[in-house]
Structure 1
Amino acid sequence: MTQLSSRILGVLLHALLVLRRWGQGVLLCLAAVSGAHAQTAAKGDWPQRPIRMVVPFTAGGGSDIVARVLARPLSQELGQPVFIDNRPGAATVIGTQYVVRSVPDGHTLLLSGSTSFSINPALRKKLPYDPARDLAPIAIVARSSLALVGGKDTPWHSLPELIAAAKAHPGRIRYGTFGPGSGPHLAGEMLAAAAGIRLQAVPYRNTGQLAVALSAGEVDLGIEVAGALAPLVNAGRLHALAVFGAGRSGTLPGVRTLAEQGLPDATFEAWFGLAAPARTPAPVLDALSRAVTRAMDDAAVQANLRAQGMDPVTVGPEAFRKEAESEISRYRVQADRAGISLD
């Protein structure tokens, strides 16, 4: 081997040794960064920027009401602004999918009704995500009854009158919902199945559109969270025929439940929960759970929710998950019985 070849070989060997040491250094640095990241989360150095609370409905509905009541006390607990991001569409699929695909660092959350967590997976086999797998439940924070209302000029002012008219004109009575697979849609089909009638569902984007449609006679009935409809009922613009909950609504105490009127199988309770993307670090989820609990313990927050027609609750992650799973099983049976198919 020539002297030049020996020198080249020596240079190559030295370069390989340097690369090896450099690679080991990079691995050590990556491990250190990863460890520091975990320690940061464990030490509670989260959140580091404003938190986005995605509501998969337009402003003014039940989920939006709950989100806006919760945002301020949650911001105070976490030391960062919490802002509402309304992303409506496809019976909450658009907004929910946005959260599922977000970075799981606790800075993007989902505040939605049971439509996102139990109704959609019960009625849709082709969801682009699995809520049980792709979302980490934090807490159920409120419950509310849905109300069945008619427009000011709707000719029936009682549930028996409505049922008699629906039997006389099958499929001609229309009720407004927030789209196929939404809570009001399922509740309407449960009512129809229990009463032995056929109704026609018509989708609207929000409570305001539904109220206008009822006033104009575009639809005969509307189904929405009782708290959102109560001001319109109390003002005489709508009249209430029934509430779907197991008990009467605090905002419409004079309106009887469907169970009280002989239709217990149509009972439906709306609830609202907060969740994060799956794979959000456990310390962050724990911090969120504690912050939500403290926020919901505030008497002013509870009073605000009750004034909006909501019952404040704090149901933890495991009970949240079990409730959603139980409802999925129940709603699948009811959807099959009512012939509801959304795929």
Structure 2
Amino acid sequence: MKISFKYFFKLCPILLFFLSNFFVGSLNADYPEKPITLITPYAAGGSNDLTARVFTSYLSDYLGQQMLIKLVPGQAGQKGTLEAIRSVPDGYTLVFTDNYRDQLHQFTFPNDHYDTNEDLVPVARINYGQIAIIVRGDGPYKTWDDVESDAKLRPGKLRISHSGLWAALFVPEWEIMQNLDLRFRMIPYRGGGPAKAALLSGDVDISMAFPATVAEDVKSGRIRILATAGQERQIANVPSFTEIGLSATTGFIHRIVMAPIEMPKDRLLKVRKALKELQNDQRYIDTMRQMGENVEYMDGVDYEEVRQQQSIDYSKLVNSIRVSK
């Protein structure tokens, strides 16, 4: 049977469409064919770094490839976030970030390089963390009341370390000062790890940390926890934030894996599926609990709703802080 050239050329676009979809589908079916880079815009040793190291160590069993951590601290998380957004959106570069860098910073560090709402999509929330107020174990402060009394006697004299402007430690520290009418001398460091080191070295008097990152220090007596975020006590003999006069929402961080917005949908779903399957891995659950971390996983679709509410709440928070200044 002869096919005219005219008829053949009409068929070409249709054939190319089906062929391209066949090959793309085949390629996507093999994803991932190489390790995936997970950018973490933090310094080593903080809670996000530790959490990332735990879940990535087990994820390869479900993803079929390793997820390799790349630390890119700096510029309050903007450096690492921008690197992820500018990467080829093929699913081989993701970013492990938090609610502050994702939603708060649009109001505090506006930039012309990216918009997280337009450039990133949530893959999944890994868990959330509740901050704690910490002091040196050999220091003069045994309770939060000791700190509060001294801070009122010497306004602006007590030094408190934080993990960078508008980052995970800075925000609750500011809320403490605002809500309890206290003044600390706030000293920035490049992440939670360096902020803790400053406390241990005596460069500051007080700091904040997520309990998982100071568990060994507490056990050895090097650090004392004075209060923890939330309404309920995380530690039996340590008061919650509401008990010392703070809001029940102060000091919560959501740890999220995010992807460039143009990442192919089927690849995004593959990573989501692997992360969801990980939640039933008892090894992972036990390791997280040993660190003092929860495994309150949330799918990216559900987290998007939380994300939008955060945007509203942080806008109000920033406006209230600017007014108070």
The answer to whether the Cα contact below 8 Å between 2:138 and 2:222 also exists between their aligned partners in 1 is no
Shift in alpha-carbon separation, 1:329–1:98, aligned structure 2, 3 A: same
The answer to whether residue 292 in structure 2 is matched with residue 309 in structure 1 is yes
The answer to whether the Cα contact below 8 Å between 1:99 and 1:109 also exists between their aligned partners in 2 is yes
CA distance in 1, matches of 2:164, 2:21: 46
The answer to whether the Cα contact below 8 Å between 1:121 and 1:127 also exists between their aligned partners in 2 is no
Give a deviation string over 1:38-91, Cα, whole Å, max 9, x none: 42356x221121111111112221111111111132211121122111111122
The answer to whether the Cα contact below 8 Å between 2:231 and 2:248 also exists between their aligned partners in 1 is no
My pick for the range that moved more, 182-191 or 52-61, is 52-61
The answer to whether residue 278 in structure 2 is matched with residue 292 in structure 1 is no
The residue number in structure 1 matching 2:78 is: 93
The residue number in structure 2 matching 1:200 is: 185
CA distance in 2, matches of 1:108, 1:318: 20
The answer to whether residue 202 in structure 2 is matched with residue 217 in structure 1 is yes
CA offset at residue 180 of structure 1?
0.3
The two structures have a TM-score, normalised by structure 1, of: 0.84
Choose from 73, 79, 82 the match for 2:67: 82
The answer to whether residue 192 in structure 2 is matched with residue 171 in structure 1 is no
The answer to whether the Cα contact below 8 Å between 1:190 and 1:265 also exists between their aligned partners in 2 is no
The residue number in structure 2 matching 1:268 is: 251
The answer to whether the Cα contact below 8 Å between 1:296 and 1:313 also exists between their aligned partners in 2 is no
Shift in alpha-carbon separation, 1:340–1:170, aligned structure 2, 3 A: farther
CA offset at residue 217 of structure 1?
2.2
CA offset at residue 211 of structure 1?
3.3
Give a deviation string over 1:103-152, Cα, whole Å, max 9, x none: 11111111123232223224333363111211111111112211111123
RMSD: 2.8
Shift in alpha-carbon separation, 1:184–1:207, aligned structure 2, 3 A: closer
Shift in alpha-carbon separation, 1:87–1:208, aligned structure 2, 3 A: same
CA distance in 1, matches of 2:264, 2:219: 46
CA offset at residue 332 of structure 1?
2.4
The answer to whether residue 266 in structure 2 is matched with residue 283 in structure 1 is yes
The answer to whether the Cα contact below 8 Å between 2:43 and 2:193 also exists between their aligned partners in 1 is no
The residue number in structure 1 matching 2:117 is: 132
Q: Which runs of 5+ in 1 are unaligned?
A: 1-22
2:306 is aligned with what amino acid? Answer: E
The answer to whether the Cα contact below 8 Å between 2:47 and 2:192 also exists between their aligned partners in 1 is no
Aligned pairs for 1:1-343 within 5 A: 31=17, 34-40=20-26, 44-126=29-111, 128-249=113-234, 252-264=235-247, 267-339=250-322
The answer to whether the Cα contact below 8 Å between 2:180 and 2:245 also exists between their aligned partners in 1 is no
CA distance in 2, matches of 1:286, 1:153: 50
Aligned to 1:311, what secondary structure does the other structure show? coil
Q: Which runs of 5+ in 2 are unaligned?
A: 1-8
1:118 is aligned with what amino acid? Answer: Q
CA offset at residue 265 of structure 1?
6.0
Shift in alpha-carbon separation, 1:246–1:330, aligned structure 2, 3 A: farther
Q: Which has the larger radius of gyration?
A: 1
Shift in alpha-carbon separation, 1:274–1:168, aligned structure 2, 3 A: same
The answer to whether the Cα contact below 8 Å between 2:45 and 2:192 also exists between their aligned partners in 1 is yes
Aligned to 1:310, what secondary structure does the other structure show? coil
My pick for the range that moved more, 331-340 or 315-324, is 331-340
My pick for the range that moved more, 97-106 or 322-331, is 322-331
CA distance in 2, matches of 1:340, 1:292: 42
1:40 is aligned with what amino acid? Answer: S
Shift in alpha-carbon separation, 1:164–1:27, aligned structure 2, 3 A: same
CA distance in 2, matches of 1:49, 1:92: 26
Shift in alpha-carbon separation, 1:95–1:167, aligned structure 2, 3 A: same
Shift in alpha-carbon separation, 1:49–1:340, aligned structure 2, 3 A: farther
The two structures have a TM-score, normalised by structure 2, of: 0.88
The answer to whether the Cα contact below 8 Å between 2:230 and 2:248 also exists between their aligned partners in 1 is no
Q: How many residues align structurally?
A: 320
